[in-house]
């Protein structure tokens, strides 16, 4: 089973000095910053998923690429743009449209021809057909005698439009002589509607089919859909789960035809989640928050309004960083460093009714970064568990991807690199 890592131009600056909070004055982002596959000796994914919606941006959701980067991607192609020659092993690139970026529109903002040319110009290995997400799950619609009103006309029309676009995509792909492999998208609102979409895509000639719209579904609902699909799936047809990671069900997913999946969860949880910020093989941990006085908007507002003293804020921030250094060196106890961290927390967030004391005590007591063998933890040490600025947070996200991939291989009984 392959894991595709969705690209959002998440790179790290190898010149960043964590002790002095500064980066090289000669650093150029595209030339010097590193992708995750350039950080690890054993690449923790099997390929990239590159979204047209992320590259181009749409509506209020801006592009994660600069104009110069978009031009470079189209001019050089994805393999050279992402420097895949620097990867320890061969990586594949899958393209999709980024349907969630235009989910509120009545119809997708792109044409099939535009999508095909984007995939072709970028030199992707796989290209997912143009689709429209269905934000509804109604398994009761499969019951005998169920009212058609359970599923609004808009969602039925989205499914039909997605199938229509997939047919056009397949036909134009064949006529245009594109080198990437076409992937049809199945949308639905119930197990049988998903199965019906897959059956239709098989008749069109698709051998690879992506299942969209399943991100908000519970694991049992996903399994129900996969079982319905498996009942009609042709031999040799493989499935891709868009945006879904459920490691506890990987073997079931694999048995029901899932050959690949993608997700940003391991990266995003590093700085989006309230508690599960740092992955480990045993459990997840809460990252220790030490806000930058100059970089925290909430704290800056309090300083500007005179609510708190900037000098005191800087003193407490510095004390926390020093406490973590001394703790990592074995010179401070958990209780001693915890008292400093909580003093700063009460200062920058006095109205909060939720203390991080219990979570921080677990993180400090176990000190999981000291046992981790990934390149990020070995180099960054305690900085990897500090919730503080993009360079630390993104590196922690890279660590999470590495740990997640280790768990993936363990669940499937694979050795490094054999998941492909």
The residues carrying an active-site annotation are 96, 262
DSSP-derived 3-state class of residue 3? strand
Residue 140 contacts residue 150 (beta carbons within 8 Å): yes
Q: Are 395 and 12 a contacting pair, CB within 8 Å?
A: yes
- In angstroms, what CA-CA distances link 212 with 117, 154, 204, 226, 295? 22, 17, 18, 12, 37
Backbone angles phi and psi of 3, in degrees to 5? -110, 120
DSSP result, 101-115: GGTTSSS-SS-HHHH
Q: Write out the two tokens for 120.
A: 């072709």
Distance CA 239, CA 257 (A): 6
Q: Is 223 in contact with 195 (CB distance < 8 Å)? A: no
CA 382 to chain CA centroid, Å, is 24
Q: Tell me the CA distances in angstroms from 228 to 155, 160, 222, 371, one per residue in order.
A: 20, 19, 10, 43
Please give the Cα distance from 292 to 290 (Å, whole number): 7
Distance between CA 221 and CA 183 in Å, rounded? 23
Q: Give CA–CA dist 274/331, Å, rounded.
A: 29
Strand-pair category, 92-96 with 181-186: unpaired
Structure tokens at 68: 């110069």
Q: H-type helices in 82-152, by residue range? A: 112-122
- Classify 259 as helix, strand or coil: strand
**DSSP per residue over 14-57, as a string?**
TT-BTTTTB--TT--HHHH-B-GGGT-SS-SSSEEEEEHHHHH-
Q: Give the residue from 11, 372, 336, 44 showing the smallest Cα distance to 383.
A: 372
């Amino acid at each position: 089973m392959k894991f595709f890592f969705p690209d959002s131009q998440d790179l790290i600056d190898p010149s960043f000095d964590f002790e002095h909070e500064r980066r090289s004055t000669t650093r150029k982002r595209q030339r010097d910053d590193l992708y995750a596959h350039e950080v690890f000796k054993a690449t923790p994914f099997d390929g990239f998923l590159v979204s047209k919606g992320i590259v181009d941006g749409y509506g209020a959701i801006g592009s994660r690429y600069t104009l110069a980067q978009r031009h470079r991607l189209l001019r050089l192609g994805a393999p050279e743009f992402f420097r895949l020659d620097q990867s320890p092993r061969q990586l594949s690139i899958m393209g999709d449209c980024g349907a969630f970026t235009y989910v509120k529109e009545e119809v997708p903002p792109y044409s099939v021809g535009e999508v095909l040319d984007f995939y072709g110009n970028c030199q992707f290995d796989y290209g997912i057909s143009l689709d429209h997400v269905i934000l509804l799950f109604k398994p009761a619609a499969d019951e005998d005698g169920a009212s058609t009103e359970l599923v609004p006309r808009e969602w039925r029309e989205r499914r039909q439009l997605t199938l229509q676009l997939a047919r056009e995509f397949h036909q134009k792909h064949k006529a245009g002589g594109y080198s990437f492999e076409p992937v049809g998208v199945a949308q639905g609102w119930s197990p049988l509607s998903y199965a019906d979409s897959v059956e239709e895509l098989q008749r069109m000639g698709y051998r690879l089919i992506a299942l969209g719209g399943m991100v908000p579904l519970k694991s049992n609902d996903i399994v129900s859909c996969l079982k319905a699909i498996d009942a009609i799936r042709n031999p040799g047809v493989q499935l891709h789960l868009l945006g879904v990671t459920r490691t506890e069900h990987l073997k079931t997913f694999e048995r029901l035809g899932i050959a690949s999946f993608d997700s940003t969860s391991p990266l995003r949880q590093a700085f989006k989640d309230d508690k599960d910020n740092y992955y480990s093989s045993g459990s997840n941990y809460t990252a220790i928050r030490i806000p930058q006085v100059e970089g925290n908007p909430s704290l800056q507002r309090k300083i500007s309004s005179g609510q708190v003293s900037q000098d005191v804020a800087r003193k407490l921030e510095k004390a926390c960083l020093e406490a973590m250094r001394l703790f990592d060196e074995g010179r401070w106890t958990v209780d001693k460093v915890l008292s400093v961290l909580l003093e700063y927390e009460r200062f920058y967030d006095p109205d909060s009714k939720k203390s991080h004391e219990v979570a921080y005590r677990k993180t400090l007591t176990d000190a999981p970064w000291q046992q981790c063998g990934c390149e990020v933890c070995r180099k960054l040490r305690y900085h990897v568990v500090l919730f503080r600025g993009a360079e630390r947070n993104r590196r922690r996200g890279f660590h999470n991807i590495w740990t997640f991939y280790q768990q993936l291989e363990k669940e499937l009984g694979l050795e490094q690199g054999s998941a492909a």
